[in-house]
Chain A
Amino acid sequence: NAGVTQTPKFQVLKTGQSMTLQCAQDMNHNSMYWYRQDPGMGLRLIYYSASEGTTDKGEVPNGYNVSRLNKREFSLRLESAAPSQTSVYFCASSDVGVNEQFFGPGTRLTVL
């Protein structure tokens, strides 16, 4: 099992460019999440998907969109990147209810 995979690992964008971060999990989890991690801020939830076909905003959703493509895949899109979106992005998945989340390796994004 690969667990949670993310692509790309690194990305540099110019202000105004768009891109999609990909996330896939092979653990048959219902729920998937996108977080961003900034120095001194901990992990902050951007969007989550409690089950296939549903998505909801988290703490910091502005400037992002998500798609739960199927049960395995949950993508995060930046339509017009801004320097404030420079961060490390983590995808995670879990079973429903009280269950630990499993994290991907992260994507380090720099917006110039």
Chain B
Amino acid sequence: ILNVEQSPQSLHVQEGDSTNFTCSFPSSNFYALHWYRWETAKSPEALFVMTLNGDEKKKGRISATLNTKEGYSYLYIKGSQPEDSATYLCAFGTSYGKLTFGQGTILTVHP
């Protein structure tokens, strides 16, 4: 069983703060790293799928980086807003689409 770990487990920030969290995964046999955003009472939605060492992806105020050699990815949120409050999940992907998820980081942005 693959070990995908996310830290911190939860995070409280003030509106306007920038924040980041970490996903650690096995560095051997890397294929893909996914980030999902999961709002309460909704379904997870994909933010990024990253495949190459050094990849950087950006969507609005959210960005992610990938280091496959050392087995970690960072997700950054610039100028957090209350609507960014959600659980952020990372998942280690295989060539046939199977994902192993981390436990998630719960972000709460206070107005």
Contact = CB atoms under 8 A, between A and B. Distances in A.
Interface of A: 31, 33, 40-45, 48, 50, 58-59, 90, 94, 96-106
A43 B44 contact: yes
A45 B46 contact: no
Interface residues of B, number: 24
A42 B103 contact: yes
A92 to B, nearest CB: 8
A100 B101 contact: no
Interface of B: 1, 31-32, 34, 42-46, 49, 51, 89, 91, 93, 95-104
Given A31-B97, A99-B49, A40 B31 contact: no
B98 A98 contact: no
Given A31-B96, A98-B31, 4 more contacts: A42-B102, A98-B49, A100-B49, A103-B45
B98 A104 contact: no
A31 B45 CA distance: 17
A41 B34 contact: no
A96 B100 contact: no
Contacts of A50: 96-97
A42 B32 contact: no
Contact of B43 (A42, A98, A103): A103
Which 10 A/B pairs are nearest by Cβ-Cβ distance? A100-B46, A103-B43, A42-B103, A43-B101, A31-B97, A98-B32, A42-B101, A50-B96, A103-B44, A94-B97
